[in-house]
Amino acid sequence: MKDAAQIEPDLALAERLFDALREASLDPPGVTRDAYGPGEERAHALCLEAAEGAGLAVSRDFAGNSYATLAESDSEERTLIIGSHLDSVPHGGNYDGAAGVVAGLAALAGLVRADRRPRGDVTVMMTRAEESVWFPVSFAGARAALGCLPVEALAAKRSDTGDTLAQHMRALGFEPEAIAAGQRHLDPARIAGFIEAHIEQGPELIEVGRAVAVVPAISGGYRFRKARITGVYAHVGGAPKRVRRDAVAALGHSIAGINAVWDRLDAEGHRIMATFGVVGVDPAMASWSRVPGEARFTLDIRGVDLPALARMRVALDDIVAEAESKYGVTVSLGPDTGPRPAFLDRDLLQRLRDCASARFIPFHEMPSGGGHDALAFHEAGVPTAMLFIRNQHGSHTPDEAMDLADFAEAARILATLAATH
């Protein structure tokens, strides 16, 4: 570990690659790297070119995921994978996803430069279509590589073009037929572990004054995408309050109730989040002179604190019952599509801690509030861990402002981990 802790990642390569990615995907006020489109494809080409120039072996799979490997051809060790995605949201920032890919490439380039060969293969994986803003599918590229992408996902339509995931794959020369046939490129039994470095998507690392965090868990919980409140439309001047069945009033009651429970849990020190992300009424029926008879909403409750999640779920049922009784409406939450919280691999997390300590890098520990490609690997049974990198102004915004000095600390941890594989 002591020798491995001396290896420096190729930070000059990282800086050049970040600049090239920004220039190739500039879409003011931010960058756009559209999933299975020109923006993402250019990003993959740039990263593969940089990897090949650094002396790594490069390849792609049938779903278009890219790989850069520091290979030991005679080794029987399982492969260690470092990875993240290269797509972005429209007009997003330059670092969400890309920071993890570039950190892995800089780390392996540093090993090549130091003539340090690990016992087994180490691969940087560049996934496709992690951002579900493009296709209503979670972690499409990673799940396809693992043989876990449902066949019906191939029919999902991209939000801007209306073409299916299969059509977009085929247009770039990839093979959706392989996914339909149930093939997989990555065998979980042959993977020693998957590590994803990612910018933090909130302010916690800024608040605690740390450049990096070890991420022991990924949030899950309850996710209602098709919730609906049904009341009765009525004339605003003819329907006194005692006879109204106001769907929007019931929605307001529900929003206030959930936020009051969240306040109590927060005050007790529980870590949980709740968001009514989309609320609305039927625009064809809505009018300033009509009591709303229907309201629709989404509700996302997430965290890794299992007792708090359970309390919030009980509270939600109580609040729904109160809204129905008080306002004379019917509330249908619809299907719950939320994933379970994911508690990541303890041994791999400890290796990240040990690598950080060997390099005298102070680190924080915090769960991830968002989902990541790491979740796909965890669900496939692969030992999985994550690192967060401090980042100003959140993510999915043109204002992402990761400092390269903070990025360098994450890349050093990855280089140490790779060198000791």
Q: Domains, the chain, ranges and CATH?
A: 4-219+341-419 (3.40.630.10), 221-332 (3.30.70.360)
Distance CA 106, CA 125 (A): 13
Q: Residue 31's beta-bridge partner residues?
A: 26, 92
Distance CA 393, CA 401 (A): 7
Low-confidence ranges of the chain (pLDDT < 70): 73-74
Q: Residue 70's beta-bridge partner residues?
A: 122
The torsion angles phi and psi of 277, rounded to 5 degrees, stand at -75, -35
Question: Token pair of 297, please?
Answer: 């909403």
Task: Mention every residue, 6+ apart, whose C-beta is less than 8 A from residue 375.
Answer: 138, 139, 218, 339, 342
Evaluate whether 122 touches 108 at the Cβ level (below 8 Å).
Answer: yes
Evaluate whether 217 touches 341 at the Cβ level (below 8 Å).
Answer: yes
Question: Token pair of 182, please?
Answer: 């149930």
Other C-beta atoms lying within 10 Å of the C-beta of residue 178: 17
Question: How remote is the C-alpha of 138 from its chain's centroid?
Answer: 9
Helix (H) or strand (E) holding 405: helix 404-419
Distance CA 45, CA 180 (A): 26
Tell how many helices (H) and how many strands (E) occur in the chain. Answer: 12, 19
- Residue 164 DSSP label: B
Evaluate whether 172 touches 41 at the Cβ level (below 8 Å).
Answer: yes
Distance CA 366, CA 362 (A): 14
Evaluate whether 387 touches 80 at the Cβ level (below 8 Å).
Answer: no
Whole-number average pLDDT of the chain: 97
| Cβ burial 4-14 (10 Å sphere, 16+ → b, else e) | bbebebbbebb
Distance CA 53, CA 47 (A): 10
What's the pLDDT tens digit per position in 27-52?
999 999 999 999 999 999 999 999 99
Nearest to 135 by CA among 84, 89, 99, 92: 89
Distance CA 99, CA 122 (A): 18
Nearest to 359 by CA among 69, 110, 76, 127: 110
Question: Token pair of 238, please?
Answer: 């003819």
Residue 17's pLDDT is: 98
Evaluate whether 69 touches 121 at the Cβ level (below 8 Å).
Answer: yes
Taken in order 36, 38, 41, 43, the sign of the CA dihedral is negative
Q: Residue 272's beta-bridge partner residues?
A: 303
Residue 114's pLDDT is: 96
- Residue 340 DSSP label: P
Residue 363's pLDDT is: 98
Residue 73's pLDDT is: 64
Task: Mention every residue, 6+ apart, whose C-beta is less than 8 A from residue 64.
Answer: 36, 44, 128, 141, 169, 172, 174
